[in-house]
Amino acid sequence: MKNLVILGITGSIGNSTLKVVQAHPEKFRILGASCRSKIEALEEIARSFKIPYLVVEELSSVEKLKSSLDYKAEVLVGEEGLKTLVQLEEAEIIVIGISGIKALLPTYYALKAGKRVAIANKESLIVAGDILKKIAKEAKAELLPVDSEHSSIFQLLQKEKKEQVKRIILTASGGPFYRLPLEEFVKITPEMAVKHPNWKMGAKISVDSATLMNKGFEVLEAKVLFDFPLEKIEVLIHPQSLVHGLVELIDGSILMHLSSPDMQLPISYALNYPERVKLQVPKVQLEKIGSLVFEAPDLEKFPCLKLAYEAGQKGGVYPLILEAADEVVVEAFLQKRITFDKIPYFLAKTLDGFKIPEMPSYKEDLSFILKLHKEVCLYVENLIKGNKTC
């Protein structure tokens, strides 16, 4: 029985992780869990799994949560609480299901404590991949991908020699607007954008999927996780979301990984690695599917993917700038302060206009990264507010 900590248990990744645990209660015990603001949802989950350690964002939620539980739990608060939780001696596997940059510190501390980290959060890898990999190596921690495309590539690479890989390919469904004419993008509402055709996900990643920014982030994430140059990382549109990743080898063979689009699969793989266990997910029935469809992405209609490659080519803090800008821009879209078609516009403006401060040793320094992230967020916020003049 492994002790599991699930950060972001009230979200979509958290929910899929719970299903994996429920499918194999003999394998996992939930030692700790966190959320930001959905205290009632956390309470319900905590009650049914009798989770001994809980972390909430606000001090004011602690008493409310404690008094509503029907068992005794330790309730911790904020960043310090997350740090304590992921470093508990009994904690063995940490699932990082928090969205955004807030996942960075707990990911860092979990790796530093030598844990197995099953990481869904791509933002941390994009902004501080080098630091996280270095600390993982030093602490002999495991960093295992949960993002479905990266899990596929990870699985496909198990038996291949890196030097024999010609390229890796991440698939993208194309999101809900792939066939919509560009002129219509201005009319896309947040309600339309959060409805992904194939996956059930949180609001931020759903909007990112609709702009293909998510795929751009996944390219940057793959660069960090697998250490391939960007020239060897490609994207194909595959609207069926059955093939999640492909690996082309130097002899021309292409290996592909198929499964139904259900996050239980990559989560279970990361939790049970190198073993596999049975799961209650819909089976892929190839005879019913008939054919698999792939096409090259339209970078003119979806410039966010291009921006990610450009930021990755420039390297340094450019991926961080893009990621930070996107957090603010997507939030502004969700709050209806900007229209959907303006998302790439503000991202490109930020990449071009943000003045990078002196950064002698940013690769070593998490506090520098967090400070820079805040500065970029502020810059974009001002850009959005002063839209007409910028």
List of residues contacting ligand NAP (CB under 6 A): 8-14, 34-38, 57, 97-100, 102, 120-123, 147, 199, 201-202, 205, 263
CB of 106 to ligand NAP, least distance (A): 9
Q: Closest CB to ligand NAP among 77 and 284? A: 77
Token couple for 90: 């009994």
Identity of the residue numbered 49: F
CB of 90 to ligand NAP, least distance (A): 22
Q: Is the peptide bond before 297 cis (omega within 30 degrees of 0)?
A: no
Q: How many CA atoms lie within 13 A of 223 on its CB side?
A: 25
CB of 38 to ligand NAP, least distance (A): 4
Taking only Cα atoms into account, the Rg of the chain, rounded to an integer number of angstroms, comes to: 20
Token couple for 194: 């959060």
- Residue 258: strand pairing partners: 243
Q: Closest CB to ligand NAP among 311 and 349? A: 311
CB atoms within 10 A of CB 301: 17
CB of 325 to ligand NAP, least distance (A): 16
Token couple for 67: 């008094």
CB of 9 to ligand NAP, least distance (A): 6
How many angstroms separate the CA atoms of 122 and 114, rounded? 20
Q: Closest CB to ligand NAP among 3 and 173? A: 173
Asked whether the beta carbons of 308 and 322 are under 8 A apart, the reply is yes
Instruction: Please say whether the dihedral angle defined by the alpha carbons of residues 360, 361, 367 and 371, taken in this order, is positive or negative.
Output: positive
CB of 62 to ligand NAP, least distance (A): 14
Q: Label residue 275 exposed, middle or buried (CB < 10 Å: 0-12, 13-18, 19+).
A: exposed
Q: Closest CB to ligand NAP among 263 and 265? A: 263
Lookup result for tokens 């996944």:
218
Q: Closest CB to ligand NAP among 127 and 256? A: 127
Residue nearest to ligand NAP (CB): 11
Q: Closest CB to ligand NAP among 322 and 349? A: 322
CB of 199 to ligand NAP, least distance (A): 5
Q: Closest CB to ligand NAP among 51 and 120? A: 120
Please name the residues in contact with 164: beta carbons below 8 A apart, sequence gap of 6 or more: 249, 250, 251
